[in-house]
């Protein structure tokens, strides 16, 4: 089981990422939803302009990132990646 400081660190980093997306892209087009799969509950926030989805596995209490768009990679967007699986 993960220690609470690990969880706090991830939440601070998620806050940082959201501020980063707001400063460099936009966040007013973000869409969030949740779903359950194979005994895990997930919360997803899609930032379409930034080309990224942040996903929280509520069962494991961990965040990860999905789907960074080719457009953002091509323009060399330097999106922070530290701290996510």
Quote the CA–CA distance of 19 and 26 in Å, as a whole number.
Answer: 9
pTM of the model: 0.67
Show Cβ contacts of residue 21 under 8 Å, excluding neighbours closer than 6 positions. Answer: 27, 47, 49, 50, 52
CA 72, 74, 78, 82 dihedral sign is: positive
Nearest Cα residue to 21 out of 85, 78, 84, 82: 78
- pLDDT tens readout for residues 10-42: 788 889 999 999 999 999 999 999 999 999 999
Termini Cα distance of the chain:
16
pLDDT at 81 over 60: no
């Amino acid at each position: 089981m993960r220690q609470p400081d690990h969880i706090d660190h991830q939440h601070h980093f998620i806050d940082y990422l959201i501020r980063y997306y707001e400063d460099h892209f936009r966040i007013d087009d973000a869409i969030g939803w949740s779903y359950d799969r194979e005994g895990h509950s997930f919360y997803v926030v899609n930032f379409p302009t930034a080309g990224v989805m942040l996903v929280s596995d509520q069962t494991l209490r961990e965040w990860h990132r999905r789907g960074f768009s080719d457009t953002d990679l091509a323009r060399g967007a330097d999106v922070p990646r530290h701290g996510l699986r």
